[in-house]
Amino acid sequence: MSLFEVVYGYKPRKPINLIPMTQHSRVSESPSVFTSHIHDLHKEISKKIQESNAHYKTHALAPKAF
């Protein structure tokens, strides 16, 4: 996922999507649904970061053969 998707909850489709959003830009979705989506997205990203760190730690601490 891109940083844009993590912050805004969707993938930018065109360069115009990269312009900072106003507070009224997503009025079609209810705030609670959008908040829930962002919350779930952040939980998923956090889980992937933890998995990646655990994987890195396993390989970094493994004995090295020379």
The per-residue pLDDT for range 23-41, each reduced to its tens digit, is 555 555 687 888 888 888 8
Assess if residue 66 is contained within a domain: no
Q: How many CA atoms lie within 13 A of 5 on its CB side?
A: 10
Assess if residue 23 is contained within a domain: no
Count structural domains, the chain: 1
The pair of three-digit structure tokens given for residue 31, joined into one six-digit string: 């705030």
Assess if residue 14 is contained within a domain: yes
Assess if residue 38 is contained within a domain: yes
> Is 0.95 topped by the overall pTM?
no
pLDDT score of 49 more than 80: yes
CB 4 within 8 A of CB 18: yes
Q: What's the pLDDT at 36?
A: 85
Contacts of 61 (CB under 8 A, 6+ apart): none
Assess if residue 47 is contained within a domain: yes
Distance in angstroms (rounded) separating the CA atoms of residues 15 and 34? 22
Residue 48 structural domain? 3-18+28-61
